[in-house]
Copies of this chain bind each other. A is one copy, B any other.
Amino acid sequence: MDVHHKVAGVKASDAAGAHKKDLETQGKYGVKYIKYWFDEANGRIYCLTEAPNKEAAIRVHREAHGLVADEINEVTENT
């Protein structure tokens, strides 16, 4: 799970466009961007990702659109 704390001025369409670029880029790094949650009022974005390691996930964001997350944590999913 990564977190973009406050992406100034980002709209839902901007986030969707960036996510699309992630999906186009991720394959060569063995990464899968699964979902993201967006708070448009505050510019906050959470991205859930399957990746071999943090660095691979970061690389996809950097190459796809350059908006690297502020933090990233290795998590287990629970229901």
Chain A residues within CB distance 8 Å of chain B? 1, 3, 12, 15-16, 19, 34-42, 44, 46, 48, 73-79
Instruction: Return the chain B residue nearest A3 by Cβ.
Output: B3
Known: A1-B37, A1-B46, A37-B1. A19 touches B78 (CB 8 A): yes
Number of copies: 2
A38: B residues at CB distance < 8 A: 75-76, 78
Bound: A73/B35 CA distance, A: 16
CB distance from A20 to the nearest CB of B (A): 11
B79 touches A34 (CB 8 A): yes
A74: B residues at CB distance < 8 A: 39, 41
A16: B residues at CB distance < 8 A: 78
